[in-house]
Structure 1
Amino acid sequence: MNNNTIEQADEPVIVAVTGASGAPYALRLIQRLARTGMTQHLLLSDAARVVLKQEVDLDLPAEPKLAAQALASALGVDADAIHCYGTRDWFSPSASGSAGIRRMIVIPCSMGTLARIACGASDNLIERAADVMIKERRQLILVPRETPLSAIHLENMLKLARLGVDIIPAMPGFYHRPETLDDIIDFVVDRALSHMDIATPEAKKWGQ
């Protein structure tokens, strides 16, 4: 999975947001993708909505279309590129490999979601979409945010890594001399976008 090169940057991507702490990472990624004009299939867990309200004072409507509009307004991007789905919407393109979507990222990824993906639970749309990525040998990126990590967490990540899943923990570096909180958030988001072969003007690379 890691060796598959995505040549067309305008292909749709699935963005899933769970209840782990780290809502600013998700918002920055959604914003960056929207600015490229790329279509996003956005999946929000119930816990993610709670965390968004707690961490960034963003209270999204329950209705998916209204949630997408509110999110786009808050981020200053075009709502047409964001398609939000309920976690039980089994008719979403994310639910089937035949839709042909080749990239998915879970940011931030809770340890509960990671565990359920590792065991193939597929109990909601986020887990089902991740299961599709794995079974179709497409790109799945998980951005876990937890500390400390237990042996259970590590074993689940190892299992998924051996299946070809990209594990990109929300562990910002400091060699780029961050001056603001945005710089720290961007570091993690830039790494995720790089692994998705998506170039954005804001991205900073080593040596720049």
Structure 2
Amino acid sequence: MKLYGYFRSSAAYRVRIALNLKGLAPEHAFVHLRKGEQQAAAYAALNPQKFVPALETDDGALLTQSLAIVEYLDEVHPHPALLPADPADRARVRAIALAVACDIHPLNNLRVLKHLGKALGLDEEARNAWYRHWIAEGFDALEAMLANDPRTGRFCHGDQPTLADVFLVPQVSNAERFDCDLTPYPTVVRIAAAARALPAFADAAPERQPDAE
């Protein structure tokens, strides 16, 4: 396998965590987002969306979108499972992951922040305020989803990491990088700390990647 990623991309971070949990060690190809390497014709031919991550499988298939990649890995390498067996529990875990992937991250990714500056003329302070607003909106919901459900354990769902934790931890990391106030979210912070204590999560952290700056 070959993973195309960028050390600070939270979507690529998710896939690194999942690969580590599955005990898989792909070849890494680094696509520098801030230098615009994702816009190059060679990469656009691989992934027309010009996003990372992209995963080239052992049989040559090219997969995109972190959620699709992580679920593929879970289906092809089912142990340890990242989704519970019960359908309702699976739906809950997916809902937590999707709250990050669909409702928080798209509003705050690099291309949006660049557009706010270049096209709309917002300065860094205004862009950071935008970022923190949407983190607060999303984390308010996540905290309620996690704190008020008895199925929450050491991790988002029970006492073993799931798809939900794979998505939660990179978003917490991003929130910390932008100096968001996380004190209103003790359950989110506790779960993230428990996950980061595991080697699979720790080794996937942005600062531990060879392309980290």
Q: Shared fold (TM-score greater than 0.5)?
A: no
Normalised by the length of structure 1, the TM-score is 0.34
Name the structure with the higher helix share. 2
Name whichever structure is richer in strand by fraction. 1
TM-score by length of 2: 0.33
Q: Which protein has the larger Cα radius of gyration, Structure 1 or Structure 2?
A: 2
